Amino acid sequence: MEQPICLVGIGKIAVDQHVPAIAASGDWTLAATVSRAGTVEGVPSYSDFDAMLAERQDIHTISLCLPPVPRYDYAARAIAAGRHVMLEKPPGATLAEVQDLQTMAAARGVSLYTTWHSRMAKGVAAAKVFLSDKVVTGGHIDWKEDVRRWHPDQDWIFEPGGMGVFDPGINALSILTNVLPAPVHIKSAELQFPANKFTPIAASVQFSGDLTMELDWLNEGRQMWEMTLRAGGDVVALLDGGNRCVINDVEVAGTTLDEYPALYHHMATLVREGRSDVDLAPMVHVSDAMTLGKRINVAPFSF
Amino acid sequence: MEQPICLVGIGKIAVDQHVPAIAASGDWTLAATVSRAGTVEGVPSYSDFDAMLAERQDIHTISLCLPPVPRYDYAARAIAAGRHVMLEKPPGATLAEVQDLQTMAAARGVSLYTTWHSRMAKGVAAAKVFLSDKVVTGGHIDWKEDVRRWHPDQDWIFEPGGMGVFDPGINALSILTNVLPAPVHIKSAELQFPANKFTPIAASVQFSGDLTMELDWLNEGRQMWEMTLRAGGDVVALLDGGNRCVINDVEVAGTTLDEYPALYHHMATLVREGRSDVDLAPMVHVSDAMTLGKRINVAPFSF
């Protein structure tokens, strides 16, 4: 039976991904939205989150796709009101606030899910299975896209806490931390900050274990979201944001569901089983890069 | 019976604190040192860490007081060689590397201790006990010192990973995270970076729960390491870096041991009981501040 769910923050990612995923789901019905501006045709909309929580006792699950900075307050209020909560990535503006939400959800007996949509890309599971009994000996990540094309006028990504190029880069890190059989850590990083912005627009990161990562938000050529991992003589390539997996030059079969439908399916399982799924590993690497990274000033940026 | 211990990194903090604490301890004997330059009178010294590990099988415990960036490699080698490890604060340059050391120590069956010396300051325990059944309603931290006086020519603190003013500031955070009965998280921060340096020289931090923190490394006046925490009508003041506790204007009795002797005493307990003590909460707040903080450029700095 389909359960009612409320979607908060009707912006680009909600319209592009969350609304169609919920519409196609056999687990969920979109029963309400909360947003300052956006609405979804035929769905009751609220601008006051507390009013929705009070009025709609039929809705037990809330999906938050606001930007990371305001997300904590909404999540804390939803948990306090006894609702299950699903968080877009990154799950917050700070690590401490997500650890706090985790403690609150456990105490209140509700499910908390820090989603990482790229982990649900269709090639990821095959890469993880193949590498599970290997020793990874090196690799490289290229996550190079055109910010003007994928994040048009999203000024918040350049404000403090917006993470800049690590907003897409954390997708690569969510895949990496999922498929690696043993953890790595950042040894050094160079971060390029536009002179007029508070977050980096490009980054070059060196991990332990001969693993490197290049993030670039000014790539107007071929859009690249790919990584190659070596394990001795074996080579695993994840292409198209993890949606294709090529092992030793042979393309392998992927999982069935698209990324967001798979997230909503997993959330239904968590709620049914009374569990949470909170993994901060991708965000720890971003925080480590921002703490350890060497800042380099580059040309001002405008959309 | 005193156990042999090896001290690695014979710089200012080793000479000022670690060597006298070990000398006065009934738990430990300083059996070797490893350093590029410094030595301790009458104690066998090594410049090659691996040679010490190979030759001195009588030494089961290693205390690392190198700067944070090189510390991981030494700790990993010590754990791999089956030694217990004690880490000066901050326990590493990244959160991920300390989580990795924690996993390695557990797998190898040795004790790992991420020390926070300010938590052993004499007034901290009394503040923690008093606040344990209260709700903290606000507070303020002032950690304002003269970097030229306390860190003369320590260039590494201004290099990437050196943490800058958060190197002393993490001491305040180690106390805060120890005495608060419920966690807080950073909501916003302003970080002042000298134009010629990679780490901040001053910071203004706002936490949840009406708690604020001011860090300043250019204070040539009265040196301040103090915090005030309010719990309704009650006021707890920790002064002199946590060494004095004043509750509702009444000075309360403190613990007996000085900070570093207390750390070495706790390490002896951990080794005897086969336990580790790894708490990253203070470092999580620093990483959050560095990730979320708004950067402000200020005048160049030189010692």
Q: What is residue A46's DSSP assignment?
A: E
Alpha carbons within 13 A on the beta-carbon side of B57: 1
For chain A positions 136-165, those within 8 Å of chain B (CB to CB) are: 160-161, 163
Burial A118-129 (b: 16+ CB within 10 A, else e): bbbbbbbbbbbe
- Distance, CA of B140 to CA of B138 (rounded, Å): 7
- Percentage of residues in chain A having pLDDT higher than 70: 100
Note whether B94 contacts A183, CB cutoff 8 Å. no
ipTM (interface predicted TM): 0.94
Q: Is residue A249 part of a domain?
A: yes
Say whether both A290 and A146 belong to one domain. yes
| Shortest CA gap B294–chain A (Å) | 5
- Residue-wise pLDDT tens digits, A91-120: 999 999 999 999 999 999 999 999 999 999
Q: What mean pLDDT is predicted for residues B278-291?
A: 98
Say whether both A105 and A128 belong to one domain. no
Say whether both B48 and B15 belong to one domain. yes
Note whether A183 contacts B99, CB cutoff 8 Å. yes
Q: Is residue B241 part of a domain?
A: yes
Range of the domain at B152: 122-254+286-298
Number of domains in chain B: 2
Preferred mutation among B190, B288, B295 to probe A, highest tally of A CBs within 10 A: B288
Say whether both A167 and A294 belong to one domain. yes
CB within 8 A of B241, min separation 6: which ones? B118, B121, B171, B225, B226
Say whether both B106 and B130 belong to one domain. no
Predicted confidence (pLDDT) at residue B218 exceeds the cutoff of 90: yes
Structural domain ending residue among the three candidates A58, A92, A114: A114
Say whether both B87 and B220 belong to one domain. no
Enter the tokens of residue B183: 């966690």
Q: Is residue B206 part of a domain?
A: yes
Note whether B291 contacts A100, CB cutoff 8 Å. no
Preferred mutation among B156, B185, B211, B284 to probe A, highest tally of A CBs within 10 A: B185
Residues of A in contact with B284 (CB under 8 A): 95-96, 99, 287
- Residue-wise pLDDT tens digits, A213-263: 999 999 999 999 999 999 999 999 999 999 999 999 999 999 999 999 999
Q: Is residue B260 part of a domain?
A: no
Could you tell me if B279 lies within 8 Å of chain A, comparing CB atoms? no
Q: What is the pLDDT of residue B69?
A: 84
- Distance, CA of B237 to CA of B250 (rounded, Å): 10
Strands A61-64 and A3-8: what pairing?
Answer: parallel
Say whether both B200 and B127 belong to one domain. yes
Structural domain ending residue among the three candidates A81, A114, A147: A114
The CATH number assigned to the domain holding A95 equals: 3.40.50.720
The CATH number assigned to the domain holding B185 equals: 3.30.360.10
Active site (annotated) includes residue B197: no
Say whether both A104 and A156 belong to one domain. no
Structural domain ending residue among the three candidates A114, A132, A160: A114
| Shortest CA gap B285–chain A (Å) | 7
Say whether both A68 and A198 belong to one domain. no
Q: Where are the beta strands (DSSP E) in B176-292?
A: 186-194, 202-207, 211-216, 224-231, 234-239, 244-247, 250-252
Residues of A in contact with B103 (CB under 8 A): 183
Q: Is residue A270 part of a domain?
A: no
| Shortest CA gap B2–chain A (Å) | 36
DSSP string, B240-254: GGGTEEEETTEEE--
